[in-house]
């Protein structure tokens, strides 16, 4: 192995793949050896991405079957679900996999089939897959061959809910998550509902009562509560490029207070480089984290007795996908966890 981790990015012509490349360019221990696409194979990154104009030496996009896999130590799967598992399951066991799709997040293939509408292409890989919510998965990452990065909505929701669920501070019922997202969450493919005229000067919910991230959140929350949990989750599309904000209403467990929630986050996240409990009263907003791997979080009282409001913001393309993927890679390869991810948020 060379002194750097030689990486391939599958889906480098998509939004998460491109943001991964953006971060990899300045990562001191990553060397980009291959970039793959589907319809855009054959094109140069600088031709399809205006922000890569200064980086003409990036490898040209190829189809995955044209990659010299002997040169690759780690692969990032930035592909649609099913296509991702199909391709990744053909790779040599030596190559470590960081998958950003939904393919290896759910433990059971029946739930996957129900929500994703396809038969799982590689069920034999599920057992060894580590659910890569980094802050919760550290001990299992060093030896992992396959890491399934969480969806963008579950990332913010679970980082907010898991500590207080595990500490018995909230009830396992009536958890309501309302989320706002930027349009890059839907990928670069053209969809008429995401055209400028359809989304500008507007805000609208989608996948109401039926979003695919619910089973993923329920899987992890059920583990934390030690019993099956159902949640209510409604995403809303906003006319912004990046960013995700989640407002979560919870019921406090008997005798627990807002101060208990705050103390729990202070203890759990005090040493975390990327998770920040804001000072009392400060409201999280997407502009606080844009372009960075940070998450900001705060807790607020609800007028309804016995409830609390938890709010978190992340950048869907960084902490919600490519940044978290690199954070996982750093731990898989024994590197400092924050390597290549130290950039401050972009503002204004």
Ligand X SMILES: CC(=O)N[C@@H](CCC(=O)OP(=O)(O)O)C(=O)O
Catalytic positions, please?
152
Among residues 58 and 186, whose Cβ is nearest to ligand X? 186
**Residue ranges in contact with ligand NDP by CB under 6 A:** 11, 13-17, 37-40, 78-81, 83, 100-101, 151-152, 184-185, 187-189, 316-317, 320-321
Task: Give the pairing of strands 96-99 and 204-205.
Answer: unpaired
Q: CA 145: distance to chain centroid?
A: 18
Please write down the HEC assignment for all residues of 32-90.
Answer: EEEEECCCCCCCCHHHHCHHHCCCCCCCCEECHHHCCHHHCCEEEECCCCCHHHHHHCC
Check whether the bond before 348 is cis (ω within 30° of 0).
yes
Among residues 240 and 258, whose Cβ is nearest to ligand NDP? 240
Choose among ligand X, ligand NDP, none what residue 4 binds, the Cβ cut-off being 5 to 8 Å by kind: none
Choose among ligand X, ligand NDP, none what residue 276 binds, the Cβ cut-off being 5 to 8 Å by kind: none
Range 211-250, binding ligand X (CB under 6 A): 212-213, 235, 237
Choose among ligand X, ligand NDP, none what residue 237 binds, the Cβ cut-off being 5 to 8 Å by kind: ligand X
If binding means CB under 6 A, how many residues of this protein chain bind ligand X?
12
DSSP β-bridge partners for residue 248: 177, 310
DSSP β-bridge partners for residue 34: 8
Instruction: Tell me the C-alpha distance between 83 and 81, whole Å.
Output: 5
Choose among ligand X, ligand NDP, none what residue 6 binds, the Cβ cut-off being 5 to 8 Å by kind: none
For the CB of residue 311, give the shortest distance to ligand NDP in the complex, in Å: 19
SS3 210: coil
Contact range with ligand X by CB under 6 A, out of 2-10, 29-37, 43-51, 179-187 = 179-187
Whose CA is closest to 98, among 73, 127, 124? 73
DSSP 288: G
Choose among ligand NDP, ligand X, none what residue 317 binds, the Cβ cut-off being 5 to 8 Å by kind: ligand NDP
Task: Give the pairing of strands 275-277 and 244-251.
Answer: unpaired
Range 135-174, binding ligand X (CB under 6 A): 151-152
For the CB of residue 233, give the shortest distance to ligand NDP in the complex, in Å: 15
- The answer to whether the CB of 81 falls within 8 A of the CB of 103 is yes
Contact range with ligand X by CB under 6 A, out of 57-65, 168-176, 181-189, 332-340 = 181-189
Helix axes 258-269, 152-166, angle to 10 degrees: 110
Identify the residue whose tokens are 């016995």: 306
For the CB of residue 138, give the shortest distance to ligand X in the complex, in Å: 22
State yes or no: residue 83 binds ligand X (CB under 6 A).
no
Which residue's Cβ has the minimum distance to ligand NDP?
Answer: 14
SS3 250: strand
Choose among ligand NDP, ligand X, none what residue 235 binds, the Cβ cut-off being 5 to 8 Å by kind: ligand X
- Chain contacts with ligand X (rule: CB under 6 A): 81, 101-102, 151-152, 181, 185-186, 212-213, 235, 237
């Amino acid at each position: 192995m060379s002194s750097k981790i030689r990486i391939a990015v599958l889906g480098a012509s998509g939004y998460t793949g491109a943001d991964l490349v953006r971060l990899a360019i300045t990562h001191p221990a990553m060397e980009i050896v291959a970039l793959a696409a589907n319809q855009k194979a054959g094109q140069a990154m600088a031709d399809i991405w205006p922000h890569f104009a200064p980086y003409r030496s990036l490898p040209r996009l190829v189809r995955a079957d044209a990659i010299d896999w002997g040169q690759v130590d780690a692969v990032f799967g930035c592909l649609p679900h099913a296509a991702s598992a199909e391709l990744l399951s053909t790779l040599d066991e030596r190559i470590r996999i960081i998958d950003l799709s939904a393919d290896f997040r759910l433990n059971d293939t029946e739930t996957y089939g129900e929500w994703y509408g396809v038969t799982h292409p590689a069920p034999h890989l599920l057992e060894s897959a580590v659910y890569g919510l980094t802050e919760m998965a550290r001990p299992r990452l060093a030896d992992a061959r396959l890491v399934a990065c969480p969806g963008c909505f579950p990332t913010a929701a679970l980082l907010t809910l898991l500590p207080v669920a595990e500490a018995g501070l909230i009830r396992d019922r009536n958890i309501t998550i309302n989320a706002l997202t930027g349009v890059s969450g839907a990928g670069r493919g053209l969809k008429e509902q995401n055209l400028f005229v359809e989304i500008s000067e507007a805000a609208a919910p989608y996948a109401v009562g039926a979003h695919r991230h619910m089973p993923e959140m329920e899987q992890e929350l059920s583990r934390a509560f030690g019993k099956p949990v159902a949640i209510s989750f409604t995403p809303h599309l906003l006319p912004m490029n990046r960013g995700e904000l989640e407002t979560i209403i919870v019921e406090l467990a008997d005798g627990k207070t807002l101060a208990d929630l705050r103390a729990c986050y202070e203890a759990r996240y005090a040493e975390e480089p990327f998770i920040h409990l804001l000072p009392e009263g400060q409201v999280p907003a997407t502009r606080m984290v844009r372009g960075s791997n940070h998450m900001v979080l705060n807790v607020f009282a609800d007028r309804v007795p016995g409830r609390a409001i938890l709010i978190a913001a992340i950048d869907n393309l960084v902490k919600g996908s490519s940044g978290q993927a690199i954070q996982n890679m750093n731990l898989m390869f024994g590197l400092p966890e924050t390597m290549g991810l130290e950039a401050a948020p972009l503002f204004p």
